[in-house]
Each structure stands twice: as structure tokens, then as C-alpha cells.
Amino acid sequence: MKYYSAAALATTLLMPTAFAEDNKQVHITAPDYWCPYACPADQALKGFAIDIAIAAYAAVDIKVVYTNEPYDRALNDVKTGRLDGVAPTFKEEAPDFIFPTHSISTTQYCFYTAQSDWQFSDMNSLNDVRFAATSGYAYSPKMDEYINENKGTQVHLLKGDDVPNRMYQMLKNNRIDAILDDTRLIDYMLNTNEINGTLQQAGCLDSKSYGYLALSPRFLRRSLFLAEQFDIGFTKIKTQGKVAEILKQYGISTE
């Protein structure tokens, strides 16, 4: 799939002053259960990925309107142009979307169990293991292939609201043997008691993924402009130390 690079394409499209002045607001969406990446829109701390986007756009005088919706719906609403962007998103999850140069998060996916000696080591270790994952996510090429081949049998794909807690309830009720999710998200939910129980890490995927602000391919000119402005703003706030300040609020030393 081809990914549009703001740095590569913005130079081919001149952005007149009048056009720029008409683009002083960007509407970004994300699930509200993605803390610490993206949190409920009515909270002061909206998630570090969202707070970084807000600060980056503020540095170039663009206001962010942030709302919440499930990830599958968010991707569709951005793809069709109803909303401007969704964050954080992997490039593999949103082919043909517009991406700034700078990422706003890194993610590692791990398996978690309740009371089990099972450990994930490679794809062969998944034999006879039932696990839950999230619909629409890109985990790794091998894992994505396995999930696609085994969904509905060994793999249960969940979509909609509050996916991590629903996974945990399935695990607690012995409907599955493990859950596959973002280690930072699960650790956050355990530390804040959003998951009221015991989970133990049972092996992680080797690869780490980078999350971006994914902008709508529906309105190419506008999205290229917004991607370019995000990169300008991100460079400003990173140089000023604001990115590190935002991450520190969430107990993250570096990203």
C-alpha cells in the first residue's frame, strides 16, 4: 500500500494564505478506553497522544476539537471525511490515509493471562490457545495472518466500547485463555484499578509499532496541509521541551 508523506507531497501543493486561514480547526477522534494514549474527551488529561496533537496544533494556531468513538467507527469516519483525523494509528491500519512525518507513540503488544503457566514464545506456542484481540488493529504481519485465519475459532475479535475490560471479563469467565493487548494500556488500567483483578504478562511480540495522527484521504489538500502544520508544530513543542512535559504527566520518561 502507498502511504502519503506530508513532507514529500506538501511541497507539490501550494497552500494559499486564504486556504490556510480557513483551516484553523481540526477534528480528531479516538476511543475513550485507550488511556494513557487517548482518554475521555471530558477529562483534563486527554491522553498523551491527544495532548501532544493539541499542543502541536496550538503552536501553529490551529484548534483541536477532540471527541471519542470506537476505533472501527473512527477509522471509517475519518476515511469518509466526516472527521479529520484519528490518533494514534499505525500506518498498516489505515492504508491511503495521510500521515505527518513525526509519530506520537510507540506500542508493544503482549499476551496476558489470569492464572496460567502458558507463555507466548512463537506462533507455534499458540496451538490450542484461545485468545481475544481487537478488531481493526495491526499487530505484526505473522500475528495478523494468524488472527485472520483463526478468527471465530481460536481468536475472538472484539469491537465497540470498553474492549480491554470486555476481554478481561471473557478471561475471568474462562471463555478465553489469554488476551492480546497494548502493554502500556493494560499496565495503566491495572495501576488505576480500571481492571479490578490480576493479570500476568505472558510474552510479547518482538516488534514495536509507531502510532501517528492519521488524516483523512477524502480531502487530500486539506489533510496534507494539516499534516504539514502538525510537523511544524511538533518540532516547535519538542524543541521547547513540551513533549517531554506531556509524557511526564503520564509517568512516561521518553517516547
CA 109, 156, 187, 247 torsion: positive or negative?
positive
Residue 254 lies in a domain: no
Distance CA 88, CA 210 (A): 8
Does 26 lie in the same domain as 82? Answer: yes
Clarify whether residues 214 and 98 are in a common domain: yes
pLDDT of residue 3: 53
Task: Supply the pLDDT for residue 194.
Answer: 82
Q: Average pLDDT of 224-235?
A: 98
Report how many domains make up the chain. 2
The reply to whether 135 and 63 lie within a common domain is no
pLDDT for 244 beyond 50:
yes
18: number of Cβ within 10 Å: 7
Banded model confidence at residue 162, pLDDT cuts 50, 70, 90 = confident
CATH of the domain at 87: 3.40.190.10
At 42-62, the pLDDT tens digits run 999 999 999 999 999 999 999
100 plus 222 within the same structural domain: yes
Under 8 Å between Cβ of 170 and 156: yes
By three-state DSSP, how is residue 25 classified? strand
Share of the chain above pLDDT 70, in %: 91
pLDDT tens profile 195-228: 877 899 999 999 888 999 999 999 999 999 999 9
Question: Do 122 and 30 belong together in one domain?
Answer: no
Shared domain check, 99 and 13: yes
Query: How do residues 37-47 score in pLDDT, each as one tens digit?
Result: 999 999 999 99
Q: Identify the pLDDT of residue 254.
A: 65
Examine residue 255 and state whether it is found in any structural domain, yes or no: no
**Residue 22 pLDDT:** 61
The total number of residues written for the chain in this structure: 255
Same domain flag for 78 and 125: no
Task: Name the residue range of residue 85's domain.
Answer: 4-106+209-249
Following DSSP, what letter does each residue of 59-127 receive, concatenated?
Answer: TTT-EEEEEE--HHHHHHHHHTTSSSEEEEE-GGGSTT-EE-SS--EEEEEEEEESS------SGGGGT
**Whether residue 196 sits in one domain with residue 184:** yes
Task: Clarify whether residues 89 and 200 are in a common domain.
Answer: no
Residue 117 in any domain: the answer is: yes
What's the rounded Cα separation, in Å, for the pair 18 and 217?
A: 22
Residue 69's pLDDT band (cuts 50, 70, 90):
very high
Specify whether 154 is located in the same domain as 243.
no
91 and 169 both lie in a single domain? no
Please provide the average confidence, as pLDDT, over all residues in the chain: 90
> What per-residue confidence (pLDDT) applies to 10?
47
Same domain, 99 and 143: no
Q: What's the mean pLDDT in 101-125? A: 95
pLDDT-wise least confident of 189-193, 206-210, 242-246: 189-193
Q: Are 47 and 34 in contact (CB under 8 A)?
A: yes
φ, ψ at 200 (rounded to 5°):
-125, 135
Q: Is residue 195 part of a domain?
A: yes
Q: 19 falls in which pLDDT band (50, 70, 90)?
A: very low
Q: Between the ranges 183-187, 212-216, 245-249, where is the mean pLDDT highest?
A: 212-216
